[in-house]
Copies of this chain bind each other. A is one copy, B any other.
Amino acid sequence: MSKDYVHGYDPKENIRLQDQASTLVELLHSDTSYPAGSKVLEAGCGVGAQTITLAQNSPEALITSVDISKDSIAEAKKKVGAAGITNVKFEQGDIFNLSFEPHSFDHIFVCFILEHLARPIEALRALKKLLKVDGTITVIEGDHGSAYFYPDSKEAHKAIQCQVELQKRAGGNAMIGRELYPLLRAAEYKSIQVSPRMVYVDFTKPELVKGFTKKTFTAMIEGVRESALDAKIIDQATFDKGIRDLYRTTELDGVFCYTFFKAVARNS
Given contacts A14-B19, A150-B179, A196-B200, 6 further A-B contacts (CB under 8 A): A11-B16, A11-B19, A178-B257, A194-B200, A196-B257, A198-B259
**Which residues of chain A in 170-206 are interfacial with respect to chain B, using CB atoms and an 8 Å cutoff?**
175, 178-179, 181-182, 185-186, 192-196, 198, 200, 202-204
By a CB distance below 8 angstroms, the chain B residues around A196 are: 18, 198, 200, 257
Contact in complex: A8, B19 (CB < 8 Å): yes
Nearest-neighbour CB distance to chain B for A193, whole angstroms, equals: 7
A152 to B144, CA, bound (A): 13
A149 to B146, CA, bound (A): 10
A15 to B149, CA, bound (A): 24
Nearest-neighbour CB distance to chain B for A187, whole angstroms, equals: 12
A9-B19, A195-B19, A202-B194 known; A255+B14 contact, CB < 8 A: no
By a CB distance below 8 angstroms, the chain B residues around A152 are: 145, 175
By a CB distance below 8 angstroms, the chain B residues around A14 are: 15, 18-19
A169 at the interface (CB under 8 A from B): no
Contact in complex: A145, B145 (CB < 8 Å): no
By a CB distance below 8 angstroms, the chain B residues around A253 are: 181-182, 185-186
Q: How many copies does the complex hold?
A: 2
Nearest-neighbour CB distance to chain B for A263, whole angstroms, equals: 10
A216 at the interface (CB under 8 A from B): no
A9-B19, A18-B195, A196-B198 known; A182+B150 contact, CB < 8 A: yes
A148 at the interface (CB under 8 A from B): yes
Residue of B nearest to A182 (CB): B253
| Chain A interface SS verdict (over half) | mixed
A253 to B9, CA, bound (A): 22
Contact in complex: A146, B181 (CB < 8 Å): no
By a CB distance below 8 angstroms, the chain B residues around A252 are: 185
A149 to B182, CA, bound (A): 12
A3 at the interface (CB under 8 A from B): no
Please encode chain A, from 10 to 24, with 1 for each CB lying within 8 Å of some chain B CB and 0 for all others: 011011101110000
A185 to B175, CA, bound (A): 32
By a CB distance below 8 angstroms, the chain B residues around A20 are: 11
Please encode chain A, from 150 to 174, with 1 for each CB lying within 8 Å of some chain B CB and 0 for all others: 1010000000000000000000000
Contact in complex: A182, B8 (CB < 8 Å): no
By a CB distance below 8 angstroms, the chain B residues around A179 are: 150, 255
By a CB distance below 8 angstroms, the chain B residues around A145 are: 148, 152
Nearest-neighbour CB distance to chain B for A204, whole angstroms, equals: 7
Task: Select one of B148, B181, B204 contacting A193, CB under 8 A.
Answer: B204
